[in-house]
Amino acid sequence: MGKVVTVFLVVLMAVSVAFAELELKGSPTELAEYLTDIPRYVVLSGQSEIKQQADKAIVKISVVTKTKSLEAALKQNQSVRAKVSGMLNQAGIQADRIAASKFSSTPKHGWFSKKASSYEVENLVKVTIKNEKEFQEVAKVVDTLKEVEYKGVEFKLSTKEEMKQRAILQACDDVTKKKKLYEEKFGIELMPVEVVEGIVDETDFEEDKRGRYMRVGSSRLGFQTADVIDTAPSAFGELVFRGFVTVEYVVEHP
């Protein structure tokens, strides 16, 4: 039985080699005709940039207090936060725009004792501002109170999705212009077959972070449906939206 299988495999390999040799044979004219029928592809990329002023921003500040007693640290933290609210209220920033979000307490131990020698309490406060003047008022609080630390700012835009769509459409228009130029210049037709790649980033831009990119799945819709990049503002509250589109076309001769 083993010999039969061995003979069969040898015959199969010989047949495969024979077919491979047949595929490579032919006259130069025949090979040229064969190569002419192979589809040709063109990949075009487009991009756009839209700038828009943010509607508001969220400034993050941290209130950190440290004492030997946990209770005292908590009370001191609450007292400092009350001072923060009072200073911001006087500057015209209402209480409903000041919100404490994260809270943490950390015991500090000595070298030779299991009992904590002191406690550190931290409370993250988010302040919603509408303009640069209010940002300066928050900065004044940070500079005045030693227990307050600046943690960053996050800009918001109510028409963000609309700006994204505009950026995508403009990037698509950029690709379409290049497609038309290629068709007129070389006397060909380009038919979209696949979107090669796209990039997206985090939902909102944060001052202390870089944009993170990831690829999206391919599509055969004929145009890119990827998201856009939100980049660092070039001025206070100015967001820059950049759209990217990459489309693969098959070349057809009219």
Residues 69 and 131 in one domain: yes
Host domain of residue 43: 38-53+159-252
Report the pLDDT averaged over residues 213-223. 35
- What CATH number did the domain enclosing 244 receive? 3.30.110.170
What is residue 116's predicted lDDT score, i.e. its pLDDT? 74
Query: Is the residue at 167 inside a domain?
Result: yes
Give the number of domains in the chain.
2
Query: Is the residue at 108 inside a domain?
Result: yes
Residues 99 and 134 in one domain: yes
User: DSSP string spanning the chain?
Assistant: -HHHHHHHHHHHHHHHHHHHHHHH---HHHHHHHHHTS-EEEEEEEEEEEEEE-SEEEEEEEEEEEESSHHHHHHHHHHHHHHHHHHHHHTT--GGGEEEEEEEEEEEE-SS-SSEEEEEEEEEEEEEESSHHHHHHHHHHHHH-TTEEEEEEEEE-TTHHHHHHHHHHHHHHHHHHHHHHHHHHHT-EEEEEEE---EE--SS-BTT-----EE---B-SSS-----EEE--SSTTEEEEEEEEEEEEEEE--
Query: Is the residue at 31 inside a domain?
Result: no
What is residue 196's predicted lDDT score, i.e. its pLDDT? 54
Q: Where a domain ends, among 122, 156, 190?
A: 156
Report the pLDDT averaged over residues 144-150. 95
Q: Where a domain ends, among 107, 136, 156?
A: 156
Report the pLDDT averaged over residues 164-175. 88
Residues 75 and 141 in one domain: yes
Q: Where a domain ends, among 113, 129, 156?
A: 156
Residues 180 and 134 in one domain: no
pTM of the model: 0.58
What is residue 25's predicted lDDT score, i.e. its pLDDT? 56
Query: Is the residue at 11 inside a domain?
Result: no
- What CATH number did the domain enclosing 108 receive? 3.30.70.2970
